[in-house]
Structure 1
Amino acid sequence: MTASTPTLTAWDHAKFAGVMCQTLTTLLTSVLTAGFRGESGASSYKRHVIYQTFRTFTRTNTTKQAQAAAGTSIDAYNAFVTKNGLKAEVVDLANNTRGAWLGDKSADTIILWLHGGGYALPLGVGHLQLIHELMLAGRSKDRNVSCFFLEYDLAPEGVYPRQLTQAAAALQYLTTTAGIPPSRIILAGDSAGGNLSLGLLSHLLHPHPSIAPVSLATPLKGVVLVSPWVTFDQSAAAMKANAYKDLLDGLVLKRWSDAFMGEAAVDNYNTPLAAGGEWWKGLPVGEVLVLAGTDEVFVGDVGAFVGHLKVHNGNKMEVVVAKGEAHDMPVLDYLLGFAPGEQTQAFHKWVLERA
């Protein structure tokens, strides 16, 4: 079935009021103490206040509460296109899945975006605004870019490998039903969407035993990985060193990853870091962009994964690790009201140079 929003009980609403009280308390405390954060805190006063408040909010509420408040990915999409006076086009895909177009499907370059959110949260305004700004910038440079957003099932209702099945259906739709050559498609994903993007690339290289194969006539134009979630293990040094510099919380990551995995075992599709360099030989993409921030808890794991990917793909990779930036900044710059940072600018530049 297509995505739906959980229904909250009266008790759920009462507990959510408590969540908001704790979050407001953290906000007020952070405003007073952020000036004394030291080197262990975020790179600016504003970031420290926002990140600490966000960590409290995600840690104290439940996934059910968060999903009820956020709505579905298509809800977010419909609200965005209505607000911005854009054309809405929602598409029914195979496997009871939906996707949505932002822009014209005849564009020279099509981005297939697999959104982040820990497999627990839907597409958000940050994702949509990032792509909308990219499209506007492209028009000023005579570069025609559009995007197809996948709405995949969120955990715990949807568990691995359900989301990979849906991602494969989205790519199959683009290349077969929509008739778009792979050479015009850039696969992109942030955080959990980066995990899913890598799962899809693994499926192209080594078809998952429970998912129908997807065959490409030519390689994809490229892939963009924004702070990809490459392992659910939290033993990397950066998980501790950057715990108060980033907006992600280890307990929340554990909750989200457990919900996504269900009873499944770790494998190369759900944990890209588990795959060695040989696994990625013959990667069916023209070029690769990897983005991360020095202050994010994933930076060490992303670096280790990049080492694996470079074994056979180093000549087509660009890696940007932005100083002082935290997790998933190209999306969060727009969500949180920051000026476009190094990662966001690198993303726009990389895509438009290839559009």
Structure 2
Amino acid sequence: MAHRTETTLLDKLLLLPLLAKVLVAVFFRAILTPFNTGPKGNGTKKDLIFAALRTFLGGVNSAQEHWLNSLQITDQNYLDFAKKQKFEPETSTLESGLKLHWLGPKTASRVLLYFHGGGYAMSCSPGHFQWLFDLQNDISKDISIVVPSYAVTPAAQYPTQLKQAAEALHWLIEKQGRSPREIVLGGDSAGGNLCMALLSHILHPHPDAIKIHLRQPLASAILISPWVKFATDDPSWTRNASTDMFVPTAGHRWTDLFLGSSPKDNYNEPIRGNSEWYSDLDKIVSDVLIWGGGGEVLIDSIRDFSKTIEAAHSKTKLVVEPGAGHEEFIFDANLGYKCSFVDRPSRHHARSLAPVFSKTVIRLWSISTFPFVARISSELNRQL
């Protein structure tokens, strides 16, 4: 399906009645919530925000969405965030013009190559940078996080993002001289999709992307609420419709814009790959961590996909946070929350993962699931 991306004055004006519709939806959600016996989001405030987002994402068109995203692009968000946090921004520009934005020292012994989410239609948000900044500070000063400013739709479609992801990893290994064992891949939502596309490319080189030669496996791969299936026919899309922020129309719009005229394949839709496709995954990445929210609409596809990965790689772990929405702890950062799921026992989970995962993954997982809790970070670092 073709989507119009040129924004007209009418498109901008029509955002006003859409805003009114959002406010009405929030009002009725607030009024009816006490009488609703069905599932709700985590907390009244978040439940109302999810209702607002569902209404907005279901009513906005691609041209309006493109215009709104153009007001906050990744590169500018990074510069603004650096100014706010009072650190000197550091950006590496690759041969193609792709920019890699750094959080933490480039000389750190470990690096997390992180691909942000947003349906391939949205830039890296200030909340993403805030969460990653706190993550880097909580874990260790000896790890850096690098965020590629990959191209988003409608300006760029598949396989552009895969080409850029491969270029970023190739640069870290071949130009910076980093060992793959020092590199963790990570991503949320569409960024999780891109992580898997990159791993598939390493296993089965895509003709349009630069080849990646690994001398040893990558340290880890961390997939947060990964978008692995484009169809919206799983029961969780209905079951969790009121506990998440997404609606099918948004998923369909982002899929169409991302794929363009390209067919679906094992790279752009990871759930299409079977255990044979991923059979050598353990040779290119030491362990895989997949996080999903029990209350998100993608959870059924995440569970199904995890089974395929677990069959191919014994050091795969799926963590499902009961009741949580899509990448909820990152969403919390966008809301300005300083912690999430604080009362849940992180040490127990970290210990249970210890026999399976590297220290890097345990630390990342612990802080990811319980962000901004410095005392937990310190305790884990002492134990490990």
Normalising to structure 1: TM-score of the pair? 0.91
SS in 1 for 2:277: helix
Count residues in correspondence: 346
Cα distance in 2 for residues equivalent to 1:320 and 1:336: 23
Match of 1:349? Answer: 366
1:121 aligned counterpart, secondary structure: coil
SS of the residue corresponding to residue 240 of structure 1 reads: helix
Q: Does 1:192 align with 2:190?
A: yes
- Counterpart in 2 of 1:63? 62
Q: After the TM superposition, which of the residue ranges 8-17 and 244-253 deviates more from structure 2?
A: 8-17
Shift, 1:14, TM fit: 1.1
Matched, 1:85 2:86: yes
Shift of 1:344: 12
Secondary structure at the aligned position of 2:14 is classed as helix
1:111 partner letter: L
Amino acid at match of 1:304: D
Mapped to 1, the partners of 2:303 and 2:95 lie a distance apart of 35
Question: In the alignment, what sits opposite 2:49?
Answer: 50
2:322 alignment partner in structure 1:
323
Displacement of 1:26 after TM fit?
2.0
Q: Which residue of 1 aligns with 2:135?
A: 134
Deviation of the 1:58 alpha carbon: 1.7
Q: For 1:47, give the aligned amino acid.
A: K
Higher mean alpha-carbon deviation, 209-218 vs 343-352, is at 343-352
Distance (Å, rounded) in 2 between the aligned partners of 1:330 and 1:179: 33
For 2:201, the equivalent position in structure 1 comes to 203
Using the TM superposition, give the Cα deviation of residue 311 of structure 1 relative to its aligned residue in structure 2, in angstroms: 1.1
Counterpart of 2:163?
165
- Report deviation, 1:33: 2.1
Task: Give the deviation of 1:8 after TM superposition.
Answer: 4.9
Deviation at 1:43, TM superposition (A): 4.0
Partner of 2:311: 311
- Partner residue of 1:25? 24
Query: Which runs of structure 2 are paired with 1:109-188 in the superposition (5 Å)?
Result: 109-139=110-140, 143-188=141-186
Give 3-state SS (helix, strand or coil) of 1:111's partner: strand
Cα pair 2:66 2:154 within 8 Å, conserved:
no
Matched-pair contact (CA < 8 Å) for 2:167–2:209? no
SS at 1:172 equivalent: helix
Question: Which residue of the partner structure matches residue 36 of structure 2?
Answer: 37
Amino acid at match of 1:206: H
Structure 2 Cα separation of the partners of residues 110 and 36 of structure 1: 48
User: Does the Cα contact within 8 Å between 1:278 and 1:311 map onto a contact in 2?
Assistant: no
What is the root-mean-square deviation in Å for CA atoms of aligned residues? Answer: 2.3
Structure 1 residue 135 displacement after superposition: 1.8
Q: 1:24 to 1:273 in 2, by over 3 A?
A: same
Give 2:177's aligned amino acid.
G
- How far apart, CA to CA, are the structure 2 residues paired with 1:7 and 1:301? 33
Query: Between the two proteins, what is the percent identity of the paired residues?
Result: 31
- Quick one: structure 1 residues 336 and 36, their matched pair in 2 at CA, closer, same or farther if it must change by over 3 Å? farther
> What's the CA shift for 1:31?
2.2
Distance in 2 (CA, whole Å) between partners of 1:90 and 1:63 is 30
* Structure 2 counterpart of 1:3: none
CA deviation after TM superposition for structure 1 residue 23, in Å:
1.8
- Residue identity opposite 2:23 in structure 1: L
Structure 2: give runs of 5+ residues left out of the alignment.
Answer: 351-363, 369-376
**Are the equivalent residues in 2 in contact too, given 1:225–1:291 (CA < 8 A)?**
yes
Q: Residues 344 and 95 from structure 1, CA distance in 2 versus in 1: closer, same or farther, beyond 3 angstroms? A: farther
* Cα deviations by residue, 1:111-132 (Å, 9 ceiling, x for unpaired): 1111100111110122111111
Q: CA deviation at 1:7?
A: 8.1
Q: Distance in 2 between matches of 1:156 and 1:9?
A: 16
Question: Is this contact kept in 1: 2:135–2:367, CA < 8 A?
Answer: no
Q: Show structure 1 runs of 5+ residues with no match.
A: 1-5
**Cα–Cα, structure 1 residues 99 and 64, in superposed 2: closer, same or farther, change >3 Å?**
farther
Shift of 1:324: 0.9
Shift of 1:175: 1.2
Residues 7 and 92 (structure 1), Cα distance of their counterparts in 2 relative to 1, 3 Å cut: farther
Q: Which amino acid letter does the alignment assign opposite residue 242 of structure 1?
A: N
